[in-house]
Structure 1
Amino acid sequence: MIRFYLKCFLLLGVLFFVVIFGMQHANQGMKKMKGYDDPSLYGAFTVEEYGKGGVEASILGQKVTSHDIEEKKKTLEEMKAYNFLSHLGKKLSGTISGGIKKMLDMIEA
């Protein structure tokens, strides 16, 4: 069973990198077809270093920094929005856990 999961995760990882590589290759092909370097055509994934060990990454032309992620996290915590599916999942998992616990107690007794 562990070998199966290992193979699945390995396959998913390979497929992820193949998709990223394909997007980068398609981007280069578009640049070659156009004949000049157009700044509107970004790489699929780029990482640039700046300053004292600072790193800036961009995915599909959108810059991603740790500050952006922290701001989004704070915004989500402030919203405290009610998530129906999350609530439903918690109720369902509690019900299933309770049912299994009762079944095990019956078998044990």
Structure 2
Amino acid sequence: MTKFMLKCFGITALLLFGVLFGIQKAHFEMNELKGASNKESIESMNDSFSPENEDVDKTSSHDIQAKQETLNKIDSFNVFSALGQKLTSWISSAFSVMISVLGIIIQEMLDVFSP
């Protein structure tokens, strides 16, 4: 019995370590995708930007506001997101029902066996 418990504990510890390692790796990769590690290089590029090219590359605030308004008006429907929300609510309600039924069964068993 102790060998079984030690094996289970070892496997559980190994899986927990793997999950924590995966979360850390995903966090690092997300920061790298966002460009958080390249802030220094972006600042150095902005410092080396010459003032003569600034007036050529400027966009008007009217264009940006129009694009922002169109983005706000677009209300896209994501099928997978809606399906995921419904599936999550179904699973959540199913587990809550299972837990309440299990609680009732345990309570009835305790009532039967209690003196």
Give the alignment's TM-score, normalised by structure 2.
0.35
- Higher Rg of the two aligned structures: 2
Give 1 or 2: higher helix fraction.
Answer: 2
Report which structure shows greater RCO (CA 8 Å, sep ≥6).
1
Give 1 or 2: higher strand fraction.
Answer: 1
